[in-house]
Amino acid sequence: MEILSINFAIFVIKLAFCVVPIAFGVRLITFSSEIKEETMRKLSEKLLGEPNLVERGVFNFGLYFIASIFILFGSIVFIIMFL
């Protein structure tokens, strides 16, 4: 008897395509304020050369927008693959 069948491997891959984006989106939403501040400063310094050029409101909006896209992508993939 095979321990790992092809059908089970395909199921695990499908599940990963659904769970990983949703988990990443939820993680982005639940960042603490210190992590958000540090990430905002690093991103601003890398992109613009100055760590204080990106405003907090714009950064939070972008962060929540990206998190929403990840959650929506994971949900759509789940609906397509499992229903």
Residue 2 resides in a domain: no
Residue 67 resides in a domain: yes
Work out the angle at residue 62's Cα, subtended by the Cα atoms of residues 60 and 67, and round it to the nearest 5 degrees. 95
pTM score of the predicted model: 0.87
**Three-state secondary structure readout of the chain:** CCCCCHHHHHHHHHHHHHHHHHHHHHHHHCCCHHHHHHHHHHHHHHHHCCCCCCCHHHHHHHHHHHHHHHHHHHHHHHHHHHC
- Residue 83 has a pLDDT of 87
d(CA 83, CA 79): 5
pLDDT tens digits along 44-58: 999 999 999 999 999
Residue 42 resides in a domain: yes
Task: Say how many domains are in the chain.
Answer: 1
Which of the residues in the chain have pLDDT under 50?
A: none
Domain that holds residue 50: 7-82
- Residue 3 has a pLDDT of 73
